[in-house]
Amino acid sequence: MELRHLRYFVAVAEELSFRKAARRLSVSEPAVSQQVADLEGELGQKLFNRDSRRVELTEIGRVFLRGARRTLASAKEAVAQAQEAAAGERGRLTIGSIDPLVHAFLPDALAKFREHFPLVEVTVLNMDDRTQVEALANGTIMLGIGWAGPNLAESQSLTAKPLLRCSFALACAEHRWPATRGKPKLSDFREDNFLAISTEAGSDFMHLLRTVCQRDGGFEPNFLTVGNSLESILSMVAAGRGVLLGPQILFRHPTAGVSFHILNGAKEKFKMFLMRRKMPEPVATRDNFIKILAQSLPRACRAEIQDDK
Amino acid sequence: MELRHLRYFVAVAEELSFRKAARRLSVSEPAVSQQVADLEGELGQKLFNRDSRRVELTEIGRVFLRGARRTLASAKEAVAQAQEAAAGERGRLTIGSIDPLVHAFLPDALAKFREHFPLVEVTVLNMDDRTQVEALANGTIMLGIGWAGPNLAESQSLTAKPLLRCSFALACAEHRWPATRGKPKLSDFREDNFLAISTEAGSDFMHLLRTVCQRDGGFEPNFLTVGNSLESILSMVAAGRGVLLGPQILFRHPTAGVSFHILNGAKEKFKMFLMRRKMPEPVATRDNFIKILAQSLPRACRAEIQDDK
DNA sequence: TGCTGCAATAAGGATTCCTTATCAGATTGG
DNA sequence: CCAATCTGATAAGGAATCCTTATTGCAGCA
């Protein structure tokens, strides 16, 4: 049985005439007769009563008509959904990302994406850079957001593009550095406690922060790992328990009692990268997401990512 | 696009190999390659990434796979439903019947039928014999239950088979005819009020009852049309408002205060007939129903209807 | 390097599908 | 009442397609 049989059958059932059906299908009448006869033979059941002047559906034909229409509609819908998938309006999108950092911008981007593409099922998996590389290779994720970047990527059949480039910034209690004292340097906080944003997954990130302190401040920071959300740590900062060092983008929303200081002069910049497979195939959902992700970053932080598709 | 394309595509998607898919489909491998390539061409989208060692679905292919499976399942189900329809387990059954009479046996038969064939949509339309003939001709009903029978039927392209044949019986208040007085004759009630079961649709039926009284009792009955249900009329009978004449089958359930008397000696018998088209097609739901209907009649009342299919 | 397994491609043959031509039955019009 | 016409089924030939075998190109493996 083929869809042609169903198309011909439905046409005859709707026209209640083989000739009219043939006209509608732009074929000759015997073609329709034959196909319907074939279908009846395959089912082992008559679908029409032809009493040589009028054509009418049998009761079996009436039941089968529903199924035939449903099947044709299903086929049509399958094609339409494939087109939607090609436009990135339907399908899956799986992203691997590093948890504490992406909180600064990923939720916004995901919300905006969901608004534009409600039919796409988005999955975000938390994993470090090395795991992302694996997951990209075996197809578990389509896009990796991390900061190891080119080091890991180019070796494999992956590409890494800069996503974000910004200065580090420091948050401290307002009274810790009154506005009258001008711009602080990182070394001004060498004696403060450096609050860390999360216990786990912090190892690599804490290593990065330590490097920043060493290279730009010339001191060894005194870390204090407390809290698990940005908000809870910022409230500790406001209370004077310590300071928080992190990428500038982390501090987009003002917090009562906390002042933010961008470390412009520092040598170290914070960078993040998008990793993806050098796929033979453009994945529309992924590419749509990258566009939206770029737009939802503060202009100052964007790195160039719009160049290739 | 044909179902073959979908079958081949699904096979490749499940095996992730053109060769294995070809083996499963019992065709050579190039056939599968070509069909899948055709399908991709028609969709304008690649469904697989073939990177010359492994075959994997594209995201579009993943979306289309769902639709393809759904479509194939729908086609399979359509065939299965047609087979069910052929067995009379699915479909419609439309019956035309005369209201006051069929209450005696139709509800039981319908309930039993619904038990055996829950997927059949049964419609019962109330119409007199002449309307039934029309409705049979244009396909509105598949089966007519009436009592005009052969007179109307044979002229058209219809057949009428005897369904039911029974004596008339009379219901009266118990004290109206005490058990000690033996069997009553119809003429014993010539002075009583004859309650009629319904105002409308009663015209033909009342005419029949009048004929019975004239031929078997030799009197003109004094009709009183009251009530619209058998139960309400029987309660009136119990209260002594009158008697109720009708086919024996009408009085299957004993009622407090009412005694029933079968008019065995009467010349007039009550008959009902099944009418149906001399169809080119056996309608399975109808034929199943006729069997059940026959079984649900009291043995004494059945006429021969099991002979033809 | 040669071997094997895989998918794509080319070309020929087989199947099927559709076409034109014709038939049988039934209704319509003169 | 008979010809004309419309219906769907059937037969046969041609066209399109689908599938086959044979071959190529590519990648991993011994």
pLDDT tens-place string over residues A262-283 = 887 777 888 888 998 886 778 9
Question: How sure is the predictor about B152, in pLDDT bands with cuts at 50, 70 and 90?
Answer: low
Comparing CB atoms, the residue among B1, B92, B139 nearest residue A56 is B139
3-state SS, residue A257: coil
- B24, B11 contact by CB (below 8 A): yes
* pLDDT higher than 60, residue A199: no
* pLDDT higher than 70, residue A304: no
pLDDT (0 to 100) of residue B153:
61
Structure-token pair, residue B118? 């829950």
| Residue type at B8 in one-letter notation | Y
Q: How much is the mean pLDDT over chain B?
A: 88
* Residue A204 to residue B273: CA distance in whole angstroms: 91
Mark which residues 17-46 of A lie under 8 Å from B by CB: 43-46
pLDDT (0 to 100) of residue A153:
60
Residues 6+ apart with CB under 8 A from B164: B105, B247, B249, B270, B271, B272, B297, B301, B302, B303
B35: which chain A residues are within 8 Å (Cβ-Cβ)? none
3-state helix, strand, coil split of chain B in percent (to 5) is 50, 20, 30
- A125, A132 contact by CB (below 8 A): no
The residue-averaged pLDDT of A181-206 equals 79
* Residue B63 to residue B13: CA distance in whole angstroms: 12
Question: How sure is the predictor about B74, in pLDDT bands with cuts at 50, 70 and 90?
Answer: very high
| Residue type at A45 in one-letter notation | Q
Among B38, B39, B70, B71, most A C-beta atoms within 10 A, so best to mutate, is B71
Number of CB pairs, chain A paired with chain B, less than 8 A apart:
133
Closest C-alpha among A31, A76, A91 to residue B59: A91
B95 touches chain A (CB under 8 A): no
Number of helical H runs and strand E runs in chain B: 11, 11
The string of pLDDT tens digits covering residues A81-135 is 999 999 999 999 999 998 767 777 899 999 999 999 999 999 999 888 888 888 8
* pLDDT higher than 70, residue B209: yes
pTM confidence score: 0.85
3-state SS, residue A73: helix
* pLDDT higher than 80, residue B5: yes
pLDDT (0 to 100) of residue A202:
54
Closest Cα in chain B to A68: B78
Question: How sure is the predictor about B230, in pLDDT bands with cuts at 50, 70 and 90?
Answer: confident
Mode of pairing for the β-strands spanning A91-97 and A143-146? parallel
Query: Any idea which nucleotide's C1' is nearest the CA of A40?
Result: D9
Backbone dihedral angles phi then psi of residue A269, each to the nearest 5 degrees: -115, 150
